[in-house]
Homo-oligomer: A and B are copies of this chain.
Amino acid sequence: MPRYQANVKDMQFVLHEMLQISTADTPGYQDLEPDFTKAILDAVARVATETLTPLNISGDRQGCCLDGGAVHTPDGFKPAFKALRAGGWTSLCCAREDGGEGLPFLMYTAVGEILSAANMALNMYAGLTHGAYSAIARHGSPDQRRMWLPKLASCEWTGTMNLTEPQCGTDLGLIGTRAVPQADGSYRLSGQKIFISAGDHDLAENIVHLVLARTPDAPSGTKGLSLFIVPKFLPDAQGRPGTANGVYTRGIEEKMGIHASPTCALDYDQAQGWLMGPLHGGMAAMFTMMNEARLGVGLQGYALAGAAYENALEYARTRRQGRAPSGPFDPEADADPLIVHPDVRRMLMEQKSFVEGARALAFWGASLIDRAEAGDAPSDALASLLTPVIKGVLTDRGFDSTVLAQQVFGGYGYIEDTGMAQFVRDARITMIYEGANGVQALDLVGRKLGAQKGEGLRLLLAEIEAECARARDLAELVPLADALTQGTAEMMQATAYLAQTGKAHPDQALAGSYDFMHLMGHVCLGLMWLRMAFAVQHSTWTDQGFLQAKLHTAQYYLTRHMPACAMHRVRIETGGDNVMALRADAF
C-alpha cells in the first residue's frame, strides 16, 4: 500500500523563505508566522496520513455505486469526511461570518495539496463545495448568501457545478437545459446534465447544484445562459432539507480513475431553482467557480505527483537490483539499491524538481490571488495570465511525473497493489476536466496573452528581470540566471511570432498554442527555481542538508529543462501550415 507523509518542511520553505509571507503586506498575512503555519500544516498532515491515505486505495477498489437512485460512497468515507469537517479543513478560507476560519487562499492551497495528495477523490467533495461557496459569496443575493453559505462552508451541505450536457463539453453555447420562470420568482429546470462530480452521494444531507441553463426566449449561445441554485432537497422553513426536488441521478460513469468520486448523469425534471446573479449573466458567475477550480486542478496534478514521488523514492532506496556503474556501492550486499543507477536518479530528480517547482508556482499563484482579492490590479492581471499555465502545465507534467514514479517500480508499478497505477489513473483526469489542456492553451494564447494590452506578460517579465538581477549578485547563481534569461528570450521571441501572425491568421498562432503554454511553464518553473535558489542563499535555516539539496535541484532544473524553451519556440515558428495541411478526409 502506498504511503504519504506531507512535505511540510518544503512547504514552510516556500511560504517563509521564498515568499516571506509573514512580512508581506498582503491583508491577512500578518498572522502567518512560521510557527502558526507549521502547526496548521502538521495538523492536516496528520489527518491526511492517518485518516485519508488508508482510504485512498480501498476507495479506488470499491468505488461508488448507484442503488435505488442514490449514490453510496466507499466504506470509511463518511467518518473521514466528518473528520475533515470537524477539523475545520473544509472552511479554512471561508469568511468568519459564514462559520469559516477566514484564512487566506494561500493557506487553503497548501492544505489542499496535502488533502489531494492523500485522497484526491475524497477531497473533491469538499473542493467542489468550496467552488460553489465562492460563486454564491460573490454573485449571490444577500438572502442567498445567508441561506447557503454557512451550510457550504461547513460542508454540512456540499456543492456541484452543472455545465456539461451530452452534446456540449467545451462548447457551452450548446447548452439545452431550460429554466422556466414561476409566479413566485423561482424557476423550474428541465434537462440533462452529465459528468457531474459528486452529483449525488451520502456524505452530506443536502447537495446544492449550481446549474447553467437557458430561460425561454434567451439568446442562443453562451450569452443566453443563466446560473441557478438548485438544491437536491428544498430547504424547509427552518432551513433544513425538506421535500425532494426534481433532480434524479440517472447513472454514474465507470471511469479510468477517481473511482471514489461519483461522476453523475443528472436528470432535471421541473426542478425548482433560483436565479443567481443577473439574467443571462451565467457565464461570468460560473467563471468564478471555474478559475478557482482550475487552480485547484493544477494543484491536484502536482499533489499526486508528489505522493507518487515519495513512494518511488522509498522504493529506489530500498529495492536492490544490479550494481552502480562506477563500482559496487554496497559490496556486502547481493546488489545495490536502485538509487545508485544514473537513470533511476534522473527519474527521481525529474520528479523532485517538478514537484517542488510546481509547489512554489501554485503557492505564488495563490498569493497573487490573495492580493488580487484585496484589490491589487497587477496581481489580478498576473494571476489571470498564470491560471491556464498552472492548470495546463502542472497537470500535464504532473501526470508525466506519476508515470515516472510508476516506472521506478518496474513490473511492480503495473500491479494495482502498490498503488502506483492509481496515481497515474487519478492524475489523468486533471488534464481533461475544468477545461481540457488544449483549451487552457487556447485561453492563454487567444485571450490572456493579449489581455489589457499584454499587462500580465509585462508583469511576468518584470518579475523575471528583477529576480535575475538580484541573483546575479551571487556568483553561484549567475549560470542559473543566465539559463532563465535565455529561456525567457525564447518565450519573448515566440510571443512576437504569435502577435504577428495571430490576428490575420489565427490558425498559424493557435497551432503553436500548446507549445507556448509549455514554454511559459518552463519559464515560470525556472523563475520559481531561481527564487528558491536565491532564498537558499539568504536563509537563516540551519538545516544545511535541506538547503544544499534545494540548490542542487535548482541547478538540475534550470540546466536540464531550460533547453526545452528553444525547442518549443522553433516549433511555434513553424506555424500552422504543416498542422493544417491535410483535409479532414485526407487523414
Residues of A that sit less than 8 Å from B by CB? 164, 167-171, 173-174, 195, 253-257, 263, 313, 317, 320-322, 325-326, 334-335, 337, 339-349, 352, 399, 403, 406-407, 410-417, 421, 424-425, 428-429, 431-433, 436-438, 441-442, 446, 505-507, 510-511, 513-514, 545, 548-549, 552-553, 555-556, 559-560, 563-564, 566-567, 570-571, 574, 576, 578-582, 584, 586-587
Task: Specify the chain B residue showing the minimal Cβ separation from A335.
Answer: B171
Instruction: Beyond A255-B416, A343-B511, list 6 extra A-B contacts (CB 8 Å).
Output: A339-B587, A343-B441, A549-B587, A552-B578, A553-B582, A563-B571
Neighbouring B residues of A170 by C-beta, 8 Å: 321-322, 410
Report the bound CA distance from A579 to B559 in whole Å. 11
Task: Specify the chain B residue showing the minimal Cβ separation from A552.
Answer: B581
Neighbouring B residues of A513 by C-beta, 8 Å: 342-343
B417, B560, B580, B584: which contacts A337 (Cβ < 8 A)? Answer: B584
Neighbouring B residues of A347 by C-beta, 8 Å: 438
Given contacts A171-B322, A556-B579, A567-B566, contact A429 B414 (CB under 8 A): yes
Neighbouring B residues of A410 by C-beta, 8 Å: 169-170, 432, 436
B345, B417, B433: which contacts A579 (Cβ < 8 A)? Answer: B345
26 contacts between A and B (CB under 8 A): A169-B410, A170-B321, A171-B322, A173-B335, A253-B417, A254-B417, A263-B415, A326-B505, A342-B507, A342-B580, A343-B441, A343-B513, A344-B438, A346-B511, A346-B514, A346-B579, A352-B587, A403-B428, A406-B428, A414-B432, A414-B433, A545-B586, A552-B578, A556-B579, A559-B578, A563-B570
Neighbouring B residues of A341 by C-beta, 8 Å: 438, 510
- Cross-chain contact B510 with A579 (CB below 8 angstroms): no
Report the bound CA distance from A257 to B413 in whole Å. 12
Neighbouring B residues of A340 by C-beta, 8 Å: 584
Report the bound CA distance from A257 to B560 in whole Å. 32
Which secondary structure dominates where chain A touches chain B?
Answer: helix
- Smallest Cβ distance from A167 to chain B, in angstroms? 8
- Cross-chain contact A507 with B326 (CB below 8 angstroms): yes
- Cross-chain contact B584 with A414 (CB below 8 angstroms): no
Given contacts A345-B580, A346-B579, A545-B586, contact A411 B433 (CB under 8 A): yes
Neighbouring B residues of A433 by C-beta, 8 Å: 411, 414
- Cross-chain contact B581 with A555 (CB below 8 angstroms): yes
Neighbouring B residues of A407 by C-beta, 8 Å: 431-432, 436-438
Neighbouring B residues of A417 by C-beta, 8 Å: 253-254
Task: Specify the chain B residue showing the minimal Cβ separation from A549.
Answer: B586
Task: Specify the chain B residue showing the minimal Cβ separation from A317.
Answer: B584
Best-buried of A321, A342, A352 by chain B (most CB within 10 Å): A342
B411, B414, B586: which contacts A548 (Cβ < 8 A)? Answer: B586
Task: Specify the chain B residue showing the minimal Cβ separation from A514.
Answer: B343
Report the bound CA distance from A282 to B325 in whole Å. 24
- Cross-chain contact B559 with A563 (CB below 8 angstroms): no
| Top 9 A-B pairs, shortest CB-CB distance | A256-B421, A325-B506, A342-B510, A171-B321, A343-B438, A563-B570, A552-B581, A342-B511, A556-B578
Best-buried of A257, A407, A416, A437 by chain B (most CB within 10 Å): A407
- Cross-chain contact A325 with B563 (CB below 8 angstroms): no
Task: Specify the chain B residue showing the minimal Cβ separation from A324.
Answer: B507
- Smallest Cβ distance from A574 to chain B, in angstroms? 5
- Cross-chain contact B567 with A563 (CB below 8 angstroms): yes
- Cross-chain contact A587 with B416 (CB below 8 angstroms): no
Neighbouring B residues of A510 by C-beta, 8 Å: 325, 341-343
- Cross-chain contact B506 with A579 (CB below 8 angstroms): no
Neighbouring B residues of A584 by C-beta, 8 Å: 317, 337, 339-340
B442, B553, B555, B567: which contacts A343 (Cβ < 8 A)? Answer: B442
Neighbouring B residues of A431 by C-beta, 8 Å: 407
- Smallest Cβ distance from A194 to chain B, in angstroms? 8
- Smallest Cβ distance from A564 to chain B, in angstroms? 6
Task: Specify the chain B residue showing the minimal Cβ separation from A325.
Answer: B506
- Cross-chain contact B174 with A334 (CB below 8 angstroms): yes
Report the bound CA distance from A350 to B313 in whole Å. 33
Neighbouring B residues of A414 by C-beta, 8 Å: 255-257, 428-429, 432-433
Report the bound CA distance from A195 to B415 in whole Å. 10
Neighbouring B residues of A412 by C-beta, 8 Å: 169
